[in-house]
Amino acid sequence: MIRRIIGLLLVAMICSDVVVSAENYAILISAGKATSDNQMINSEYWYDLFLIYEHLLLNEQYDSSKVYVFYGDGIDYNSSNNRYRKELHNWGQIADYDNSYYTLNSVISSLNSIITDEDNLLFYWVVGHGAKSQLYNVDSYYARLRDNPDNPSDPNIEYVTKLELVELINSITHYNKRKIFWMTCVSGAMGEGTINVNNNKTTLLTSSTSDELSYSDYYNNECHSNFDYALFSLSSEKYPNGNVCNVNQYCLSGAFMDSLLTMSELHSSIVSFIISNSIYIQHPCKYDIGGISNKTFIGESKRIKNVTIDANSSYWIDTLELSNVIFDDNIDINIYIDKQCKIIDNTYIPTGTTMSIK
């Protein structure tokens, strides 16, 4: 028999009155500079950066002042494709800084005094080249910066070691939750070996394993990284051209039951998306400790409505709103709220099911 839990409603109202001042910060790095439109291993440096920036501002409501963009020489690409022009959204300059290692190290290190233990951090190496100097040694991974697609011998191209990259990311020591996305060849190396970015507050998604190449492909006559195109389309639930992307088509059976996409579900969906839409073989990887990816999401504010949840679930989120939700018999629900918890209407818990809100 399903019964309404008055105590739960009281807890929710108490949670909604206690608001922690926390912010979402993002660091976006495009490790090259586009010089032409719709040219493979070239245009992605701007196209993919534009898509991720757009998603953060329009879908996840990031404050543009808290999104730090490193691109080329710090000057936006003047694309002839109107889809990737800042004028599309009446934006000003998107790129904040050039993408030299000196600039990255200086700016990112300075954020340690700005970002707090209550804030959430997104670090996205949007597109770039990566390799290993020793075939079987993942700690020998390195990435290329300031890439020049028109001149591979350009003396301004920089090579950054895995140790330098991990130290760069970890120079920001204060954060609540951290998400890292990494698009290069053999990118899985960033989550493996004795040097890595893993901890119990971090989810890392990479575009391939530590032994695979990562590819770009043409989608609707535009070239994109497979990983970035899949991530944008699934996270936004629409393709760059505006058509609806059916996330359920790519989620595994039983996933997406609450209409929210966890980082774990996002990972499995990206794998399925690439297999379904590209001729190239790559297997994006997920790295976390303690299953953080099963309870964190692509966005930090979520609403669950008009569903029945029939399996054990955990949510670690800034704000969560429940409306017309039924929890099935004999399951455990754990909700960790950083800002607010609200129950708007008709949320039920049956006898034998437990819910904890912290």
Q: What pLDDT is attached to residue 166?
A: 98
Q: What pLDDT is attached to residue 348?
A: 79
Q: By the 8 A CB rule, do 191 and 198 touch? A: yes
How many whole angstroms separate alpha carbon 206 and alpha carbon 62?
Answer: 22
What's the token pair of residue 10? Answer: 């009281």
Question: What does the CA dihedral 16, 22, 24, 25 come to, rounded to 10 degrees?
Answer: 180
Q: What pLDDT is attached to residue 259?
A: 84
Q: What pLDDT is attached to residue 21?
A: 63
The β-bridge partners of 225 are 216
Q: How confident is the model at residue 350 (pLDDT cuts 50, 70, 90)?
A: confident
What's the token pair of residue 70? Answer: 């490193």
Q: What is the mean pLDDT of residues 43-47?
A: 97
More confident residue, 143 or 258: 143
pLDDT, tens digit, 9 for 90 and up, residues 163-175 = 999 999 999 999 9
What's the token pair of residue 168? Answer: 């760069």
Kind plus residue range of the DSSP H or E element containing 313 = strand 313-327
Q: What pLDDT is attached to residue 205?
A: 98
Q: Which of 116-130, 207-221, 240-254 has the lowest mean pLDDT?
A: 240-254
Q: By the 8 A CB rule, do 52 and 146 touch? A: no
Q: What does each C-alpha distance from 90 to 54, 78, 86, 94, 177 come to in angstroms?
A: 12, 14, 6, 11, 31
In this structure, is the dihedral angle defined by the CA atoms of residues 41, 192, 268 and 238, taken in order, positive or negative?
A: negative
How many whole angstroms separate alpha carbon 63 and alpha carbon 75?
Answer: 20
- Percentages (nearest 5) of helix, strand, coil residues in the chain: 30, 30, 40
Question: Mean pLDDT score of the chain, rounded to an integer?
Answer: 91
Report field, pTM of the whole predicted structure over 0.85: yes
Q: Nearest-CA neighbor of 187 among 216, 208, 162?
A: 208
Q: By the 8 A CB rule, do 286 and 307 touch? A: no
Q: What is the mean pLDDT of residues 118-138?
A: 97
How many whole angstroms separate alpha carbon 157 and alpha carbon 147?
Answer: 5
pLDDT, tens digit, 9 for 90 and up, residues 285-342 = 999 999 999 999 989 999 999 988 888 889 999 999 999 998 888 899 998 989 888 8
Q: What pLDDT is attached to residue 3?
A: 33
Question: Which amino acid is it at 249?
Answer: Q
Q: What is the mean pLDDT of residues 86-95?
A: 97
Q: What does each C-alpha distance from 58 to 50, 322, 348 come to in angstroms?
A: 12, 23, 33
Question: Residue ranges of the domains in the chain?
Answer: 2-18+302-357, 24-297
Question: What 3-state DSSP class applies to 194?
Answer: coil
Q: Which of 32-36, 54-58, 91-95, 248-252 has the lowest mean pLDDT?
A: 248-252
Q: How confident is the model at residue 255 (pLDDT cuts 50, 70, 90)?
A: low
Q: What is the mean pLDDT of residues 133-142?
A: 96
Q: What pLDDT is attached to residue 282?
A: 97
How many whole angstroms separate alpha carbon 113 and alpha carbon 258?
Answer: 37
How many whole angstroms separate alpha carbon 99 and alpha carbon 32?
Answer: 8
**In the chain, what percentage of residues exceed pLDDT 70?**
93
Q: How confident is the model at residue 357 (pLDDT cuts 50, 70, 90)?
A: confident
**In the chain, what percentage of residues exceed pLDDT 90?**
74
How many whole angstroms separate alpha carbon 217 and alpha carbon 203?
Answer: 26
pLDDT, tens digit, 9 for 90 and up, residues 175-216 = 999 999 999 999 999 999 999 999 999 999 999 999 999 999
Q: What is the mean pLDDT of residues 263-285?
A: 96
Residue spans of beta strands (DSSP E) within 155-290: 158-161, 177-182, 202-206, 216-219, 222-225, 285-288
How many whole angstroms separate alpha carbon 142 and alpha carbon 129?
Answer: 9
More confident residue, 345 or 128: 128
Q: Which of 12-26, 153-167, 216-230, 279-293 has the lowest mean pLDDT?
A: 12-26
CATH of domain 24-297: 3.40.50.1460
| pLDDT for residue 54 is more than 70 | yes
| pLDDT for residue 9 is more than 50 | no
